Amino acid sequence: MTKVVEEKREVTIVFAGDSGDGIQLTGTQFTNTSALFGNDVSTFPNYPAEIRAPQGTLAGVSGFQLQFGSVEVFTPGDICDVLVAMNAAAFKVNLPRLKKSGTIIVNTEGFNPKSLKLAGYEASPLEDKSLEDYRTIQIDVTKMTQTALVDMGLGKKEVDRSRNMFVLGFLYYMYSRDLSPTEQFIREKFTKNPLLIEANIKVLRAGYNFGDTSETFTSRYNVKAAQLPKGTYRNIMGNQAAALGLVAASKKSGLNLFYGSYPITPASDILHELSKYKNFEVKTFQAEDEIAAICSAIGSSFGGELAVTASSGPGIALKGEAIGLAIMLEIPLVIINVQRGGPSTGMPTKTEQADLMQAMYGRNGEAPMPIISANSPSDCFDAVFEACRIAIEHMTPVFFLSDGYMANGSEPWKFPSTASLPSISVKQAKERKEDDATFLPYKRDERLVREWALPGTKGLEHRIGGIEKEWDTGNISYDPENHQRMVKVRAAKVAKIADSIPLQELNNGTATGDVLVIGWGSTYGVIKTAVSQCITEGISVSHAQIRYIEPFPRNLGELIKGFKAVIIPEMNNGQLVKIIRDRYLIDAKGINKIKGIPFSTDEIITAIKEAEETVKKA
Amino acid sequence: MATETIDIQLTAKDFVTDQEVRWCPGCGDYSILKQVQSILPDTGVKKEDIVFISGIGCSSRFPYYMNTFGMHSIHGRATAVASGLKIARPELSVWVITGDGDSLSIGGNHLIHTIRRNFNMNILLFNNEIYGLTKGQYSPTSPEGKVTKSTPMGSLDHPFNPLALCLGADATFIARAMDRDVKHLRDVLTRANDHVGTSLLEIYQNCNVFNDGAFEIYTDKGSKVEEALFLEEGQPLIFGADNNKGIILNSGHPKVVRLDDGSYTADDLWIHDSSDRYKAHLLTTFFDNPSLEGHLPRPFGVFYATDRFRYEEALKDQLDLAVDKKGKGDLDSLLSGKNTWTVA
Ligand SMILES: Cc1ncc(C[n+]2csc(CCOP(=O)(O)OP(=O)(O)O)c2C)c(N)n1
Ligand code: SF4
Ligand SMILES: [Mg+2]
């Protein structure tokens, strides 16, 4: 029977199962294949908090959501078209995300009495009338996989492990996708075990063929390639992009990269990634704790390397005192915070933007420092590169704020060439001859930046430290006038960075109007989508996503003045909104979601409409 | 320890800065400063290749008085800062200056981890058994029952035995010296500097303001001969007035014997061998309260020295190996990754 091919503009799928089901791998494969095909994609993995929560339980459900389209997509999607559930628990947790009339694909074996009980079902939901609103495709994936692999001499465990390939193959059929990228992936992943290569490819094809031969579908779907800007693309995750950005900054500055870190979710992947790049002279150091991690980075920076340390909120708290030291020393240092739900241990695997105030003010004394954030997974590359540039060129520690959402999310990236990246200029103090004037470690240039004076350079012997420095000489000073002057000059140095960063642009909308939505960080995609939609509905709304939070771009105040109302959606209890209110004395309104999950487009649209209404009433 | 040598002979004066030294008059830190300044010219290392890194405490002011590169960092973290510097610049001669509170209380974690990684650096632990800078609270090396500002009824903490702790962390060099025995201090400083790997030198330092006389028993002419045991390589463990006492190993247990009553001769004694880890361990246990009857004398000198790979060198080897195997990293191919597609 020939099947009709139906065109779709965009599709959102959520894959869900036990954390041992290979859900993340399945999602990533579908993503890569779709990206290679030319779709725009955006993904959002949702990990369980425990590594191996008891099998089949609600706590153990791992999810991977992706949206792919023939148009540009900026978010992993709000509600899903398709739910793939490997067991009853995964079904229960994710059903609320599925749209009415959506498609459910289930592994029936995951709905056996034991699984049902673990998920808290008295009777199988698959037999429930409420499912009539959806299209349910029931497959005994476990059995199909076993049948496909019969006589291959594999153990039950290995057979069950490849179940996810059956589902993937099935979806590839459903969305008219090519199997070869995944087959290639399987070949590389199991190079050492030809039997597993054969098995996984067999199951993948079995899934595909099942779609073809079974009478499940009356139609297949096609999501055409997106009209992305011309160029060559790859798919990339945020943490990976951050790692590459650091390597690029190392190359463009000519400085070796030092990365001192202590493992913590969701920052560890940057450490894993960088530790693979030893042939780029990247030195990774897994320190005994976060304090040692940043202190070793300070030592490396003192020695003249591009020094970076990363953590998430709890670890950043531990680094606080040492960040203050770096501010006093006025040496380059990049501090990455991949934010997660807090306070304390909070929600380690969930996303949040609640460490902005910590970055801004979380130190003793007057200790200002630049803060940069990224807008999306691929933007982590540019943002961290900028953080390195500012740190080196302005001799200061710099915060780069990422979050779990963009760190683990992925999207297509039109990657740059090395040649197209700006170079980073490094100014180190030169050797002194006998008759040269004495070296003054805290003498500043017109940007108020001091020179980087490396050990090993003749005539530059000097001592620095955390005690207040005397103007120019850097010697210890408790002089009251000197302290005030030094506090002011350190602040002025950071403020002056505004001269070397781009002006704030609008990401959408007109330069003046009723409502301005200001965002920062990973809310970019959802605000972009919501504002676009509102504009098509005729609402007067614009969007500015701020990457440079300290100092702000010089024109931000002017830009804000062009609007009657300002709303600031954040995944926290209101942080940027306080800074904006304080800085520009405006009545900005916070839109806050603190659930460990990103905003949906509708939530932002509702907020925009409310703001618009208030403006109209006034 | 840097290897490049200098053409002009430096003197101790070259290592003096123009900063006024601010320790209390009579503080043991003065002597240590002077001995370090006086041994450096003979190490042959250029001034600009030497870095002193300290934490916080009276002792940690040290770098300001050394005309080399220096960093007065934050409390307890000097070893961590120095570790990063050694990774960045293995060729530099790096010295860590730390107090008993700095290295064993707030910085205890970094100390043991630095030691096990065996970076090639020298750690000088100024032990005055008190918190000097914060004006006299007990420290992790203060003896039990110590009455201080924060322990009016006596300290309840059992003290650390610093050298045993460091050996437990697999130190490759441990030694002890004291501020008042300057010649011995200079010798041990030189040996610490010559050691390739982390050398941990504990220096008994008198804080004459908050803990005066804590080590008097080892420095005072009258008691020193009976209480201090100077370790010399290949020599028997002898001490006492007219060298009348020695130490034997009696079924693996150290025991003080007399050499002047005919029962033992020097040939029967324990011979110091700093390459012997078991003997070194025993030596660290010579840590009795000197007021106890039958206690062992306190050893000074180099307890233990061994060779083990240095973290920074091993890291460099890995980087070189990675280049050998994969070729020098090409940023463009890293940026493009393996799977790309083109939108025309
Ligand atoms: C984070 C932090 N906590 C506490 C202090 C206060 N503090 C400064 S030095 C010191 C103890 C110093 O004792 P020690 O290391 O033995 O050095 P000493 O002064 O005896 O040479 C303390 C508690 C500090 N500077 N920083
Ligand atoms: S307080 Fe003690 S350790 Fe500190 S300088 Fe004075 S005498 Fe020396
Ligand atoms: Mg002390």
**Predicted TM-score (pTM) above 0.90:** yes
Residue B1 confidence (pLDDT)? 46
H or E element, residue A404 = helix A404-408
Q: Which amino acids bring their CB within 6 angstroms of ligand 2?
A: B 23-24, 27, 29, 58, 128, 132, 207-210
Into how many domains does chain B fold? 1
Say whether B83 and A457 touch across the interface (CB within 8 A): no
Residue B221: pLDDT over 80: yes
Give me the CATH code for the A513-617 domain, please.
3.40.50.920
Question: How far, in Å, from the CA of B53 to the mean position of ligand 1?
Answer: 15
Residue B7 confidence (pLDDT)? 62
Strand pairing class (A513-520; A563-570): parallel
Say whether A299 and B53 touch across the interface (CB within 8 A): yes
Of B69, B83, B344, the CB nearest to A461: B69
Instruction: Compute the average pLDDT of residues B264-277.
Output: 97
Instruction: Compute the average pLDDT of residues A494-517.
Output: 98
Closest CA to B41 of B262, B209, B189: B189
Burial of A286 per CB tally in 10 Å (0-12, 13-18, 19+): middle
Say whether A476 and B19 touch across the interface (CB within 8 A): yes
CB of B179 within 6 A of ligand 1: the answer is no
Report the residue of chain B nearest A298, measured CA to CA: B81
How many DSSP H helices and E strands does chain A contain? 20, 22
Residue nearest to ligand 2 atom 6, measured at CA: B24
What gap in Å lies between CA B249 and CA B237, rounded to an integer? 10
- What CATH number should be reported for the domain holding residue B36? 3.40.50.970
Residue A274 confidence (pLDDT)? 98
Residue A463: strand pairing partners: B70
Residue A197: pLDDT over 80: yes
Residue B6 confidence (pLDDT)? 52
Residue A131 confidence (pLDDT)? 87
Which 3 state secondary structure label does DSSP give A570? Answer: strand
Residues 6 or more apart whose CB falls under 8 angstroms from that of B340 comprise: A232, A233, A234, A415
Query: What confidence category does residue B4 fall into, taking pLDDT thresholds of 50, 70 and 90?
Result: low
Say whether B87 and A283 touch across the interface (CB within 8 A): yes
Instruction: Compute the average pLDDT of residues A584-612.
Output: 97
In what order do the strands lie in the sheet containing A563-570?
A: A541-546, A513-520, A563-570, A589-592
CB of B122 within 6 A of ligand 1: the answer is no
Of A232, A247, A455, the CB nearest to B340: A232
For B63-113, the pLDDT digits (tens) are 999 999 999 999 999 999 999 999 999 999 999 999 999 999 999 999 999
Residues 6 or more apart whose CB falls under 8 angstroms from that of A485 comprise: A471
Say whether A461 and B68 touch across the interface (CB within 8 A): yes
Residue A523: pLDDT over 60: yes
Contact assessment for residue A353 and residue A406, using Cβ atoms and an 8 Å cutoff: no
What gap in Å lies between CA A366 and CA A494, rounded to an integer? 12
CB of B57 within 6 A of ligand 1: the answer is yes
Residue A34: pLDDT over 80: yes
For B142-197, the pLDDT digits (tens) are 999 999 999 999 999 999 999 999 999 999 999 999 999 999 999 999 999 999 99
3-state SS track over B262-321: CCCCHHHCCECCCCCHHHHHHHHCCCCCCCCCCCCCEEEEEEEECCCCCHHHHHHHHHHH
Q: Is residue B41 part of a domain?
A: yes
Mean pLDDT of chain A: 95
CA B75 to ligand 1: nearest atom: 26
Residue B17: pLDDT over 90: yes
CA A321 to ligand 1: nearest atom: 1
Residue A554 token pair? 């010089």
The one-character DSSP state at A55 is T
| CATH 3.40.920.10 domain locations along chain A | 4-222
Residue A20 confidence (pLDDT)? 82
ipTM of the complex: 0.97
Kindly list the distances between the CA atom of residue B78 and the CA atoms of A412, A523, B53, B95, in Å, as whole numbers in the listed order.
Answer: 43, 40, 6, 10
Of A289, A291, A461, the CB nearest to B48: A461
Query: What confidence category does residue A128 fall into, taking pLDDT thresholds of 50, 70 and 90?
Result: confident
| CATH 3.40.50.970 domain locations along chain A | 234-420
Chain A environment of B73 (Cβ under 8 Å): 295, 298, 325, 465-466
Residue range(s) defining the domain that contains residue B102: 12-214
CB of B76 within 6 A of ligand 1: the answer is no
CA B105 to ligand 1: nearest atom: 15
CB of B59 within 6 A of ligand 1: the answer is yes
Kindly list the distances between the CA atom of residue A66 and the CA atoms of A41, A167, A236, A242, in Å, as whole numbers in the listed order.
Answer: 7, 15, 13, 21
For A415-451, the pLDDT digits (tens) are 999 999 999 999 999 999 989 999 999 999 999 999 9
Residue A513: strand pairing partners: A563
What gap in Å lies between CA A352 and CA A405, rounded to an integer? 8
Residue B2 confidence (pLDDT)? 43
Instruction: Compute the average pLDDT of residues A564-568.
Output: 98
Residue A2 confidence (pLDDT)? 60
Question: How far, in Å, from the CA of B207 to the mean position of ligand 2?
Answer: 5
Question: How far, in Å, from the CA of B24 to the mean position of ligand 2?
Answer: 5
Residue A133: pLDDT over 50: yes
First to last CA, chain B: 58
Chain A environment of B64 (Cβ under 8 Å): 463, 465, 475-476
Q: Is residue B29 part of a domain?
A: yes
What gap in Å lies between CA A572 and CA A405, rounded to an integer? 14
Of the candidate ranges A122-126, A202-206, B273-277, the one whose mean pLDDT is the lowest: A122-126
Residue B5: pLDDT over 60: no
Residue nearest to ligand 1 atom 10, measured at CA: B57
Of the candidate ranges A573-577, B18-22, B138-142, the one whose mean pLDDT is the lowest: B18-22
H or E element, residue A557 = helix A556-561
Superfamily of structural domain A4-222? Pyruvate-ferredoxin oxidoreductase, PFOR, domain III (3.40.920.10)
Of A283, A285, A461, the CB nearest to B67: A461
Residue A312: pLDDT over 60: yes
Closest CA to B103 of B213, B212, B172, B203: B203
Query: What confidence category does residue A48 fall into, taking pLDDT thresholds of 50, 70 and 90?
Result: confident
Which 3 state secondary structure label does DSSP give A583? Answer: helix
Q: Does domain A234-420 have CATH number 1.10.10.60?
A: no
Say whether A279 and B53 touch across the interface (CB within 8 A): no
Residue A129: pLDDT over 90: no
Q: Where are the beta strands (DSSP E) in A153-216?
A: none
Which one has a higher pLDDT value, A101 or A243?
A: A243
- Which amino acid makes up residue A307? A
Q: A571 phi and psi, to 5 degrees?
A: -90, 60
Which one has a higher pLDDT value, A489 or B342?
A: A489
H or E element, residue A159 = helix A156-161
